[in-house]
Structure 1
């Protein structure tokens, strides 16, 4: 039986994923250095409010507040014993917001990198990483996640481990790597290598792509690399809203809602099926993206030069 994401993609040319979790919670009062995942227990009302704001802005898919809720990262907060509880609560909060939407909204269980280097450069083995991701995935599934959203990965071995976890808990999944301005991940993986990798996995993702990074222009160039690889698998683009800076005791990013709206249209015209935002992307950004996608007619596939020119123009207009 086809999963809910695949069924939705059969009826829609594109879906809007949500915006940032951590940076929005920071602007809602999360203390510097505090793990956002802990708010699932200490401030569940604010987490739920953020999910509802994303849904109200037009999101078709929302991510659970569990990006760093794996055993390795929670050890830094002395919360290793809370892996199951925090992930289950993260999924149930997102499920509550999705079920109250009055339309179909999917819940994606967010799983970020472990924070450790994979062997042989580090000490984390692929088997240990698989066990770590599986522990997280089991709780996300039990809490109501429709799929797993494996994001901001830089190493092939870690993506493979997360994919094995998705297979172990029998959930569909999506996978994203984060690419640097030079066109590779921190561990040297290129977009074309990722496109090749996902097709070789025993259980390939429903969709794959890129998230985070240094902004929409660079991420679109990475996505163009997926398209050049010839893969017919649905693509994902979820960039940061530009570069961060502090303003009035809060954290804002330099890509305005209008800039992210231009990104969204370019991503759609490039053939991306799941479009959203990562760090710095607020509900206001998301609403502008949704309006642009709904109202602007589809255009020709943009070239790399077109992407650069249109994004530069959007940034220049935003600065005026």
Structure 2
């Protein structure tokens, strides 16, 4: 009997996605901040392979091939004079992800399609969809389980991506990087969801740019709009792994923060924030629950632990080493006051500190940015 597909699994209960690749690999020294393109799939395959392994051990049901921004319009000449095409990168990424996925045979593999500069350059629908088709050809050849269009700021481009992906004959998910105010053209979040569903999207959702608090508010708007039109795609969320309350009403999200992208660590979610995210997303009706930039494997492990009751008691493969809500701290011999921190009740009361009293020097920084402009 073959493994169950993504839609069949979503019908049964929550599916756990994976997390951050571009940002995590940048922190580890394998991706250049700025371009954020995936040459590492060819240049440093072991680094990508290990991150897949880590997410799988943390409980991910789905591994996404490392192909973010792998469009021929986005890719540029890399160090050493090598030119990587979308086909080069996508094939290498598929080889790596399947190698890891096959170690746990029920793992689903997802091929990711990204926005292309052709759209913002105004080259038209045919040129844009040709770029998407080029990305998808390798995914079809490598028999991924489903396709995901992600990181779209314009719902029109997302619609074009969905149409192109639907020709491949497999389930299609698509996510926008929007908040409650809607897309970059002013299309409301609710209308975006309806248009994506009508384009044929099986799984409608959000990824990147905003934290889980904002993303859940946005997906609720989308869910209500879909229900009003009698549309029933599955819902998906993959927020960034940082606290970003200041940018909830921004159009572009955390890109408005002066800390982006190299000083975000003080905002990082702690593992129990991920428990809150998973629980609230599930209760809202989201069934594909993953993470985006900043979500490390240990974050996704907490999502899997939180949703274990809804998944038949299944805990992550690495659960034997996981101190679930700190339960193993009772065995700590460091000091007695660490040993008593072994309960859910304790950790639910902790309010993490940044260790940086006063925060950033906003006025001085604003003045400096003004000089730069």
Q: Shorter-chain TM-score: which interval?
A: 0.7 to 0.9
Corresponding position of 1:58? 59
Corresponding position of 2:112? 110
Q: How does 1:147-186 map onto structure 2 within 5 Å?
A: 147-180=146-179, 182-186=180-184
Corresponding position of 1:220? 216
Corresponding position of 2:68? 67
Is contact 1:152–1:211 with CA below 8 Å preserved after alignment?
yes
Is contact 1:61–1:107 with CA below 8 Å preserved after alignment?
yes
Structure 1's consecutive aligned runs of 4 or more residues displaced over 6 angstroms after TM superposition are 313-316
Larger radius of gyration: 2
Q: How does 1:6-155 map onto structure 2 within 5 Å?
A: 6-10=7-11, 12-30=12-30, 31-33=32-34, 35-75=36-76, 77=78, 82-101=85-104, 103-118=105-120, 122-155=121-154
Corresponding position of 1:305? none
What TM-score do the two structures reach when normalised by structure 2?
0.72
Structure 2: gaps spanning 5 or more residues:
245-253, 312-346, 355-373
What TM-score do the two structures reach when normalised by structure 1?
0.83
**3-state SS of paired residue (2:205):** strand
Is contact 1:216–1:263 with CA below 8 Å preserved after alignment?
yes
Is contact 1:151–1:211 with CA below 8 Å preserved after alignment?
yes
Question: Which deviates further from its counterpart, 169-178 or 72-81?
Answer: 72-81
Per-residue deviation at 1:161?
1.8
In 2, distance between residues paired with 1:177 and 1:16? 19
**3-state SS of paired residue (2:352):** helix
Per-residue deviation at 1:29?
1.3
- Quote the RMSD (CA, aligned, Å): 2.8
Is contact 2:18–2:63 with CA below 8 Å preserved after alignment?
yes
Corresponding position of 2:369? none
Is contact 1:25–1:36 with CA below 8 Å preserved after alignment?
no
In 2, distance between residues paired with 1:270 and 1:282? 23
Number of equivalences: 295
Is contact 1:154–1:189 with CA below 8 Å preserved after alignment?
no
When residues 183 and 246 of structure 1 are mapped into structure 2, their CA distance, relative to the original with a 3 A threshold, is: closer
Per-residue deviation at 1:319?
3.2
Structure 1: gaps spanning 5 or more residues:
298-312
Is contact 1:206–1:234 with CA below 8 Å preserved after alignment?
yes
**3-state SS of paired residue (1:74):** coil
Question: Which deviates further from its counterpart, 122-131 or 232-241?
Answer: 122-131
When residues 314 and 91 of structure 1 are mapped into structure 2, their CA distance, relative to the original with a 3 A threshold, is: farther
1:261 pairs, out of 256, 263, 275, with: 275
Corresponding position of 1:199? 197
